Structure 1
Amino acid sequence: MDLDVVRTFVAAADAGRFQDAAAELSITQQAVSKRIATLEKILGARLFTRTARGATLTIDGQAFLPHARDLLRVEERAVASVRPGRRALRVDVIGRRLAPAGLLRDFHRAHPEIELDVVTLFDADAAINAIRTGTIDASFRAVTMPGRQLPDDIGAARVFDEPIELLTGPAHELAGARAVTPAELVGHRIWMPGIVPGTEWGAYYDALATAFALTIEITGPDFGIEPLLDTITDSRSLATFVGEETRLVWPVDHGLRRIAVRNPTPVYPHSLVWHRDNPHPGLAALRDHLRSGRRDHSDAGTWTPTWA
């Protein structure tokens, strides 16, 4: 259905005269009459009764009017969904339980007027491709990896260095520790089946294992976080790494322990990535928000890969 014809019908219904509708739409009265006639032909019903004083809606016209208004509202929402400055700011986070999602929630609380569309792409390469094609506006990623550089049209800024914690079950040898050092983890089995070789998080944990001679196992299928927690709960030998800001919920009887890693503290380098030519005003607000509230744990007591 031609929405210009529908718009003309609504204008004529509101004005009560074709002449006034023509003035509102900046078209001729003849064009209004022609559009109304076209719509009546499409619907197979008369919509107006013409009188000397103007035009009044028929019963069919009255029945069609609320639906016509709905069509125009849908059109407006459809256009707004892709119009820069009006559409939602599309941001990729690596996972909805992880620290970047928390950073985005903080931004939303500070700027509730900015509509957000949150997505989760697979890895940094997929995120950067989506940024370059305009599918998303920004992404939270650890973007620099060995042997790779960002394209010139992509901007990035480090926004959060997240400490890494050890997660164990209640029967694990280290379960009673309040903190451990990387040196104390040598020889312990750290199980992370969610690591995918070639990803940015895979590169990070490869570097961590190499730097401190740790055993990080990625064998076995990845069934998600709940099965991982179940396995860690029942194991005396397996532990895993989680980010300090990762939101985890488990049954009380699991008795899992989140243990700080110190001297040094490994931190995961989260960056915001965006296209340098992106004009969305929400993106500028997000960058300003992250810049002003950056939580930086990087100091002499922390570790992160040299490529970060």
Structure 2
Amino acid sequence: MPSKTLDGIPLDWVRAFEAAGRLGSFTAAARETRLTQAAISQRIANLEGRLGARLFVRGARGVTLTVEAEAWLPHASEALTLLHQSAQDIFSSRTQQLTICASATMTRGWLMPRLPRLEGRARLHLSFVTLMIEAEQAPDRGNVVVRYGVGDWPDLRAARLFAEELAPVAAPHILTGDWTALPRIAVTGPRAGWSDWDGTTATQLRTDSMGAALAAAEAGAGVVLGSLPLCRDALDAGRLARTDARSLTPSSSYWLTARAQDVSQRRWDALIAAFCER
């Protein structure tokens, strides 16, 4: 391909190609860009002429990308996203609305205490939404979603909030003898539990969140295999105490996740600097 093939090429031609390729339809691309189908078709034809290559195979049932176009599409999408987001970051005087969807435990115990770190880093108007079910079942509820796992979600940016570490903790006033005889508090969900600690499966109290389990432990209801990063303040203040020097370090933890097109790189970096422990 000649070195100046793309010189002076109208951005609208690339935008028409990207929309049609991503959506798999000239009609859908026309709706998204608020153009006519004929205009989309003409711009793609112009782009094909400039590139000297076919981008779509036209058929009776619609259009499909050629092999070369399929390889180029992700680069075109990334470039258009970068142009849009960088223009917002640099030239927009408006504050960007950004929603963070997380469990009540994560919002209260981790995100809110670190919120002041965001001041001056990015023009953001934040909205926090409490996640009531597993994040995998609600991928579209916010621009940024806090998920629990190993960080391998396809097509999502992911930044680990902290390295998870679990250890038995309880209120100091109930630690008067053998802590293993205390009632055990369990947390429902995908995280490691008592069976991973010592094979025990019997528990006297079960909650659906780490926050509720830690609150029960502080109240003296028993001992919980608690997330040390999430109960650090309670440990430092003496409201909880570790009962064992050992700990579990599972590979899973909590992650900030977002689609690249939802959050610009500059604002994503600001969120990482504010909320992620290095």
Please give the range of the TM-score, normalised by the shorter of the 2 chains. 0.3 to 0.5
Larger Rg: 1
TM-score (norm 1): 0.44
